[in-house]
């Protein structure tokens, strides 16, 4: 429900459903785990890309689930990015709270999280989330 009610509208308002971007939902990815010689399969909630360059992965959870639970899953998906020489961004949400993530993999994978934006304040922070999404879109268009 969070995907339909919140995320799809944010993607539309941020301009990600327009050229030069493409959005895939429920995209399957395979992640190779060398230590265990295994392949882990997963499904991205949303993948925003331009040509073959992955720009952002969006992971949504149900409203009652903490965003913290989405961090390991999203990082695993981000590590599957075929262009490991470029940073990739993520957005984690449960419909009430939003956190942006950035991953770089040049030498050693490093990630950073933004502050948490929430709808549960007097001043609704959804506009700030949309503003950040638009800025990311401008950087990559």
CATH numeric code, 2-140: 3.90.1570
Instruction: Specify the pLDDT at position 40.
Output: 63
Query: What residue has token string 């950087």?
Result: 139
C-alpha torsion 128→131→137→141, nearest 10: -160
**pLDDT tens for residues 37-73?**
766 666 777 778 887 778 888 878 887 888 888 888 8
- The helix/strand/coil state of 30 is strand
**Model-wide pTM > 0.85:** no
Query: What residue has token string 């913290």?
Result: 68
- The helix/strand/coil state of 52 is coil
pLDDT over threshold 70, residue 4: no
Instruction: Specify the pLDDT at position 33.
Output: 60
**pLDDT tens for residues 75-112?**
888 888 888 888 999 999 988 899 999 999 888 899 99
Helix (H) and strand (E) counts for the chain? 4, 7
Boundaries of every domain in the chain: 2-140
Q: What is the mean pLDDT of residues 18-26?
A: 85
Please give the residue that has the higher pLDDT: either 141 or 98.
98
| Token duo for residue 134 | 């638009």
């Amino acid at each position: 429900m969070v995907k339909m009610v919140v995320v799809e509208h944010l993607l539309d308002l941020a301009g990600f459903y327009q050229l030069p971007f493409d959005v895939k939902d429920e995209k399957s990815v395979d992640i190779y785990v060398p230590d265990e010689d295994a392949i882990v399969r997963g499904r991205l909630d949303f993948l925003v890309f331009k040509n073959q360059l992955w720009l952002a992965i969006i992971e949504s959870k149900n409203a009652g689930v903490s965003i913290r639970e989405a961090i390991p899953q999203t990082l695993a998906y981000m590590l599957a990015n075929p262009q490991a020489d470029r940073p990739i961004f993520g957005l984690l949400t449960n419909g009430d709270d939003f956190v942006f993530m950035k991953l770089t993999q040049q030498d050693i994978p490093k990630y950073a999280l933004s502050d948490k934006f929430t709808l549960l304040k007097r001043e609704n922070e959804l506009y700030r989330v949309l503003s950040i999404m638009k800025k990311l879109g401008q950087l990559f268009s």
